[in-house]
Structure 1
Amino acid sequence: AMCEEDGIPWVPVPPGLQPRAALCFLLFPLLACFSRFGMLKGDPKGALLGLRALREMCVSTDAGNPAKRFAQELHGKVPIIYGAGNTGPVAYRWKTQVNENAKQPAYWAELPELCHNEIVGYELFSKVFPEGVFVFLRTSSDHPRVAKRVEILKEVLSRRGLTFYEVWAEGDDPLSQALWLLYFGDWVSFYLALLNGVDPTPVVPIQELKRRLTEA
């Protein structure tokens, strides 16, 4: 009401959505503003076209549905998602979507920082965390040093007999690629929820925590 009275443009967010389902209403208005002022490297319209094409693949009941296939690979396992640069926040989104939608553990880390600490944990990984698998989020715009680190990490993991996957983004620019990976991860978490036999919508532990905090 205040924005309307003062003639300030505003974008309403539909009520009743889970916060994780409101991302598009929060993100794309910002991208549109950045693009309008020439502050955005990438094409939001092209990114949207890529997301629509991805949606057509991910809603398909065919065996070739890529999100469903990858969810089957992750079923019964605990993913550790790795990202770098633009894909660092995307890796975190993957982690939280698997937590909230599929109701299971998932973890994330970011290159190059993980090369200074996390990799030491590979030494006893198979002994203490046999369900763990690694997921590298990759783009054609990865920094050369990041790409080199990933190749070395893959060799280290292979030598130790640890399982890893690579998910390569589609798109013509870093924005399109990051959004493609983000949306693909959302679909993977949805199908993982179905494989786990759970409803992806409710987040009972979060609701309980909030309720108890208000009662404290």
Structure 2
Amino acid sequence: MADILALKETFDKGDMYGLIKAMPQNLEEGIKLGRDANLMRLEQETFHSVVVAGMGGSAIAGDIARSYLYRQIQIPFVVCRYYRLPAFVNRKSLVICCSYSGNTEETLSAYDDAIVTGAHIIAITSGGKLAHKAESDGVPIVKIKGGLPPRAALGYSIAPLLMILERLGLCEEQSEALSQTALQLKNWAALYDPADDKNPALDLARQIYGTIPVIYSGYERLNAVATRFKGQLSENAKILAFTNVFPEQNHNELVGWHKLYDLDKKYTVVILKDSQEHKRIRARMEIVMQYLRDKSIKVILLENLSGQDLDRVFYFIQYLDFTSYYLALLNGVDPTPVNAIDYLKEKLAN
């Protein structure tokens, strides 16, 4: 297989490698943005529900917060990827509208919906129409750095989001956990150096290369990581990928591995296992791995490290972001452009 440094030089025109590597610095800046945000008396309010409205790389921060805080947040917390908010949204709801560009039409529509319902609103954006609307309506804004692909701005969206939830009394203190995770990510980044023969992300990319990844995880903490990996494989490596969670996978999709139309060699199952996984989920994972291997399906089990919850989540995010990057190089594509999405937006605009 071609030398990875040569492939990096040839295909990584937008320096996606540097953007992925910069995540810990982005987290640190995001902590400050969330800590310093003017929440305009929202800290005195009591909320009955939280909705994060966003799409794609902007929505994934809501997914990660939802799964990471699954056992902390005491009120309903949902992520809305649509033009309209759920019917339960009212004056006691907190709606956090996340649009990196500020011009995502679904998020702008959800913002308008939130205004109509009288919900409390916060905007997280780099600018655009969302910033203009929020400024006009007197809505608190967390202004984040612009000029990045939204998926590369995760640190700028997740850190302010967690800090806001902390400041509003909806979860435990987060700044220390975020700072520790940023430090860990800086240390771990050396593992994914393209010049390192033992690079685990490159090794995983080589194992996935030429196949369709099917990603399974537990429900707590890692289900959003699986979703993130799927999205990164599509946008960076330009391939299809699919995901599901335990235990739901065991109640339907498991049966679907019976009839594969001679495609059994075209799938790679990647199972993400948390070191603190529920004991019954661990048992289900072991059984499913053996079941699939008995059918000659390639199965790769990935286990994260011990440590605090946020470290374990971001260990996988960094590892799998780099995996999608190296798979892009192996596929002979530039990981940064998303031409199909640009095509869709152009057609919608017309």
TM-score (norm 2): 0.57
**Measured at CA, do residues 52 and 171 of structure 1 come closer, stay the same or move farther in structure 2, by a change above 3 Å?**
farther
**1:49 shift after superposition:** 2.0
Percent of residue pairs bearing the same amino acid type: 34
Cross-structure match for 2:157? 26
Q: How many pairs are equivalent? A: 215
Cross-structure match for 1:40? 172
8 Å contact kept, 1:138–1:166? yes
Cross-structure match for 2:249? 114
1:41 & 1:113 partners in 2: Cα distance?
31
- The alignment partner of 1:201 has SS state of coil
**1:139 shift after superposition:** 1.2
8 Å contact kept, 1:81–1:135? yes
**1:126 shift after superposition:** 6.6
| Matching residue within 73, 76, 81 for 2:207 | 73
Cross-structure match for 2:315? 180
**1:15 shift after superposition:** 1.6
1:35 & 1:167 partners in 2: Cα distance?
31
Return the index of the structure with the highest Cα Rg: 2
- The alignment partner of 2:215 has SS state of strand
**Measured at CA, do residues 41 and 135 of structure 1 come closer, stay the same or move farther in structure 2, by a change above 3 Å?**
farther
| Matching residue within 129, 147, 160 for 1:16 | 147
Which stretch has the larger CA shift, 119-128 or 49-58? 119-128
Cross-structure match for 1:207? 342
- The alignment partner of 2:158 has SS state of helix
8 Å contact kept, 1:47–1:171? no
- Per-residue CA deviation, residues 132-173 of structure 1 (Å, 9 max, x unaligned), is 110001111111111111011011012111110011112402
1:38 & 1:64 partners in 2: Cα distance?
41
1:38 & 1:19 partners in 2: Cα distance?
26
1:137 & 1:123 partners in 2: Cα distance?
22
8 Å contact kept, 2:264–2:296? no
Higher RCO structure, 1 or 2 (CA under 8 Å, sep 6+): 1
Stretches of structure 1 lacking an aligned partner (at least 5 in a row): none
TM-score (norm 1): 0.90
Which stretch has the larger CA shift, 170-179 or 70-79? 170-179
Residue 150 of structure 1 pairs with residue 285 of structure 2: yes
Q: Which runs of 4+ in 1 moved over 6 A?
A: 1-4
**1:55 shift after superposition:** 1.1
- The alignment partner of 1:90 has SS state of helix
1:179 & 1:99 partners in 2: Cα distance?
20
Residue 55 of structure 1 pairs with residue 185 of structure 2: no
Cross-structure match for 2:122? none
2:180 & 2:198 partners in 1: Cα distance?
24
**1:8 shift after superposition:** 9.1
**1:184 shift after superposition:** 1.0
8 Å contact kept, 1:171–1:180? no
RMSD: 2.4
8 Å contact kept, 1:83–1:109? yes
Q: Which has the higher helix share?
A: 1
Stretches of structure 2 lacking an aligned partner (at least 5 in a row): 1-130
1:145 & 1:133 partners in 2: Cα distance?
24
**Measured at CA, do residues 212 and 70 of structure 1 come closer, stay the same or move farther in structure 2, by a change above 3 Å?**
same
**Measured at CA, do residues 30 and 193 of structure 1 come closer, stay the same or move farther in structure 2, by a change above 3 Å?**
same
1:10 & 1:56 partners in 2: Cα distance?
35
8 Å contact kept, 1:31–1:40? no
Residue 123 of structure 1 pairs with residue 258 of structure 2: yes
